[in-house]
Structure 1
Amino acid sequence: MSFTNLGLSKPLLKAIEEQGYETPSPIQLQAIPVVIEGKDVLAAAQTGTGKTAGFTLPLLEKLTQTKPNMQKKQIRALVLTPTRELAAQVAESIKTYGKYLPYTSTVIFGGVGINPQLATIRKGVDIVIATPGRLLDIAGQQGIDFSALECLILDEADRMLDMGFIHDIKKLMKLMPDKRQTLLFSATFSPEIKTLAEGLLNDPVLVEVSRENTTADQIKQVVHFVDKRRKRELLSQLIKIKKWRQVLVFTRTKHGANKLTKELEESGISAAAIHGNKSQGARTKALAAFKANEIRVLVATDIAARGIDIDQLPHVVNYELPNVPEDYVHRIGRTGRAGQSGEAVSLVCIDEHELLKNIEKFIKFKIPKVDIPAFRPDPNIQAEPIQNGRGKGKGGKNSRNEPHSSKDGAKSNKNKRNRNRNKKDKK
């Protein structure tokens, strides 16, 4: 089936054709007609399946089918995303596919000045793409009017729950009309997502294109066991010997990302780090340089990497395994996108053996182990507790490599929650 069979108008089909796409992906095939019909949708799809176009295309089509009853432009559609990188990606998708349509859009997130964003919204736009924290700040200044909202989309809702955005989302929804279309997209149908959907969606159509907790078939996965102190050396050798030109590397912490970037640069490998302590300008510059192949390695923390969309990214490396198995799926999903092949390499030290078991249990797959004789681990080294990074480590400490807002509590904690939300949106 082609895009012409999905109920999309000629301006959208022309934009799709210019991007070189002919056949919709499974998520697009299922979601687009349902969204155009005006139904609420609960969708689960692995990253890299064409999910973003799966909601931006029918959203744009829906806007052509309804005539706004207003003299001044008001917001007709809102897309909420967990990170500013993902917000920028969605905004680019809307710009690309809506190039022959008269709709205006803007992207709203922290880390940049709020006044220009306020001015843009007050001037009038059709579509807003935003992170919840910054949008709530704008709403707090009476800077936004949702009374004409027709469609609300929550993208990567599982990550928004993970980052503590649920309270911000609920506050924003109180400002929206009850009569609206709501779409919720998530990587998995976790119990928490199903509970959230029950409160937000009205008789939703369920769309799922793959089994829960699985990794894409086109991604070649491999594990190399290595001592922690020799990981950087092994990574450098893999990059140089295999002549990898574009590698996305994951660390658990911002400090670890900075340290590894410096060490790679010192070994003659161009690299840049992207994480929550980097300014928006620095992050944008690093990502652009990586996409343009001006640097070979982009070192990222989990949350900062969310929304990175790079066509034909060949290699992802887990320099450190994530403490939360779901994050492994999200990490390696940066490669093997849209039917392309990719490779995901994990460098695993003795401290991480339990994490590896949890990941393999989660994805229901035994990742092949490839021995590299020169880097065989020292059998005398004992495992140490892992206490840094997102989620609960072996040491039992619950910490994250990025800040997030605290749970609602007593009124005395209000200022603390606001500070946390501001930090969160500056990612």
Structure 2
Amino acid sequence: MHPKLLRAVADAGYETMTPIQAKAIPIVLAGRDVMGAAQTGTGKTAAFSLPLLHKMMRHENASASPARHPVRALVLAPTRELADQVANNIKAYAKHSQLRVACVFGGIDMAPQTAELKRGVEVLIATPGRLLDHIQIKNCQLGQVEYVVLDEADRMLDIGFLPDLQRILSYLPKSRQTLLFSATFSTEIKKLAQSYLQDPVLVEVARPNATATNVEQRFYSVTDDDKRAVVRQLLRQRELSQAIIFVNSKLGAARLARSFERDGLRTAALHGDKSQDERLKALEAFKRGEVDLLVATDVAARGLDIADLPAVFNFDIPFNAEDYVHRIGRTGRAGASGLAVSLATRDDARLVADIEKLIKKKIDLEAIELEDDRPARRPRRREFDEVPDAAPARAADHAQAGVSASAPASTPPPSYAPRPQRSGSRHHADPFFDRPYEADPNAQPGWEGSVPNAPASQPSTGFGRLVKQKRKVASLLGGKPPAA
């Protein structure tokens, strides 16, 4: 390796190569196309970026002219967070050199990205959609690209980026070195490799689609209503300081984050409906330890490197079995141990079977006994407890009825007390006001028959005084008013 790169590697604290790095770096330096299959968290980014930077060091120059800094290496990533993370790693590796590194992705203003591309960059990390936007408005030229990296290519196919990938690859020179890295290899990925890679070397350090051996995987059989209580209980029992909670929908992530926030846990949500600035802030707060739980969709399942993350929860079983491998790969990174908990309901039997088939491991659903961690409710007070003068009033009523207050009642006491009178109200001494309403049997309803107490000159119409009669008016054409 170039001395400047070795110096950056030493600054990053790297001492020994991981298996994927030890196998891939010599092949990449030899100029061969590579299909790299390794478990997530094993250092794939350094495996492809360090040899490419070493090969580009011959183009290093301090010129200010953009023409002296064309795009020579293109790295495509499926999500904005992964693109930003890869860019930060490559910038750290190239910090002692004159090579320029830029990252472009959607969700933010294009103007700063445009200015950076116009100044010239050697290494460009991008998401497919935003890269096509810059290509269409002539912000970057890909005619001198020598190296192409498809990072997490299976995810790009899952979210429908295949047409965009084909358009981007059509802008590139035919003679180039192409590297494809992923933790899972599907049939579509192999077809993509046959189309765009030339005699690739398959680099595997573990069986494809295998999960990390240092991650403890537990599957619990629960109901939908108990999932949140199970998460709280396991966080408490295992003394977990932080965890990522994966769900299948953006709306579900927002709702679950609010629920955990009400439970007193510092929670942030990460999903596609949030702006890029909000997503980056939530991720940085989680990395700094300011957030206990990160409730996320699969936008956080690929490539995110969070140091010493103790646990991952699959609140919802993923629809694609490959996503399970990537989700639990957020914990147990760089050889550390981790915990992956999946909460399965009766409706998830088919999804669990798909995971079992993919990882080729028998899954045993465990039962879990929930502890009641809900705060005890205050006893419901009766109405006479809330009114201070209700008990003396009852004692006075008992005394008036000749019943001793201390004697046990033969019948159970009522569950309510009479509403006490207001202090300002007056009691009527006239018994007339205490009598119930009695209708006059000789009274005639006011809406039937003649009007009561009407003068003899008023004819009976058969309608009461409450019914308003229609007035006779003259016709608009040729009518005459009624005679007086």
Query: Which TM-score band (shorter chain)?
Result: 0.7 to 0.9
Which runs of structure 2 are paired with 1:217-232 in the superposition (5 Å)?
217-232=213-228
Q: Which residue of 1 aligns with 2:306?
A: 310
Which runs of 5 or more structure 2 residues have no equivalent in the other structure? 373-484
Name the CA shift for 1:335/1:289 in 2 (closer, same or farther; >3 Å): same
Distance between the aligned counterparts of 2:11 and 2:111, measured in 1? 35
Q: Which residue of 2 aligns with 1:140?
A: 136
**Once the 2 structures are TM-superposed, how far is the Cα of residue 67 of structure 1 from its aligned partner?**
6.7
Alignment equivalent of 2:12, drawn from 19, 22, 39: 19
Distance between the aligned counterparts of 2:318 and 2:371, measured in 1? 22
Task: Please tell me whether the aligned partners of residues 274 and 305 of structure 1 are also in contact (alpha carbons under 8 angstroms).
Answer: no
How many residue pairs are counted as aligned between the two chains? 369
Q: Which residue of 2 aligns with 1:415?
A: none
Q: Which residue of 1 aligns with 2:269?
A: 273
Alignment equivalent of 1:187, drawn from 183, 186, 197: 183
State whether structure 2 residue 76 is matched by structure 1 residue 80. yes
* SS of equivalent to 1:373: coil
**Once the 2 structures are TM-superposed, how far is the Cα of residue 375 of structure 1 from its aligned partner?**
7.5
String of CA shifts for 1:42-92, please: whole Å, max 9, x gaps: 111121111111111111111114579995321111100001101001101
- AA at the equivalent of 2:268: A
TM-score scaled by length of structure 2: 0.74
* SS of equivalent to 1:249: strand
Name the CA shift for 1:178/1:229 in 2 (closer, same or farther; >3 Å): same
* SS of equivalent to 1:374: coil
Q: Which residue of 1 aligns with 2:51?
A: 58
- AA at the equivalent of 2:126: A
TM-score scaled by length of structure 1: 0.83
Which runs of structure 2 are paired with 1:412-423 in the superposition (5 Å)?
none
Q: Which residue of 1 aligns with 2:204?
A: 208
62-71 or 321-330, which deviates more: 62-71
State whether structure 2 residue 383 is matched by structure 1 residue 373. no
Alignment equivalent of 1:321, drawn from 311, 317, 324: 317
Task: Please tell me whether the aligned partners of residues 233 and 370 of structure 2 are also in contact (alpha carbons under 8 angstroms).
Answer: no
Task: Please tell me whether the aligned partners of residues 221 and 368 of structure 1 are also in contact (alpha carbons under 8 angstroms).
Answer: no
String of CA shifts for 1:228-284, please: whole Å, max 9, x gaps: 111111111222333211101100001111111111010111110000001111111
Which one has the largest radius of gyration?
2
Distance between the aligned counterparts of 1:251 and 1:44, measured in 2? 26
Name the structure where helix makes up a greater proportion of residues.
Answer: 1
Distance between the aligned counterparts of 1:25 and 1:304, measured in 2? 23
Q: CA RMSD in A?
A: 1.8
Distance between the aligned counterparts of 1:111 and 1:304, measured in 2? 16
Task: Please tell me whether the aligned partners of residues 236 and 269 of structure 1 are also in contact (alpha carbons under 8 angstroms).
Answer: no
Task: Please tell me whether the aligned partners of residues 74 and 147 of structure 2 are also in contact (alpha carbons under 8 angstroms).
Answer: yes
Greater RCO structure (CA 8 Å; 6+ sep): 1
- AA at the equivalent of 2:356: E
Task: Please tell me whether the aligned partners of residues 226 and 375 of structure 1 are also in contact (alpha carbons under 8 angstroms).
Answer: no
Q: Which residue of 2 aligns with 1:172?
A: 168
Identical aligned residues as a percent: 50
String of CA shifts for 1:302-331, please: whole Å, max 9, x gaps: 134423210121100001100111111110
Which runs of 5 or more structure 1 residues have no equivalent in the other structure? 1-7, 377-427
* SS of equivalent to 2:103: strand
Which runs of structure 2 are paired with 1:352-391 in the superposition (5 Å)?
352-374=348-370
- AA at the equivalent of 2:231: L
* SS of equivalent to 2:370: helix
- AA at the equivalent of 2:40: T
Distance between the aligned counterparts of 1:187 and 1:283, measured in 2? 24
Distance between the aligned counterparts of 2:349 and 2:267, measured in 1? 28
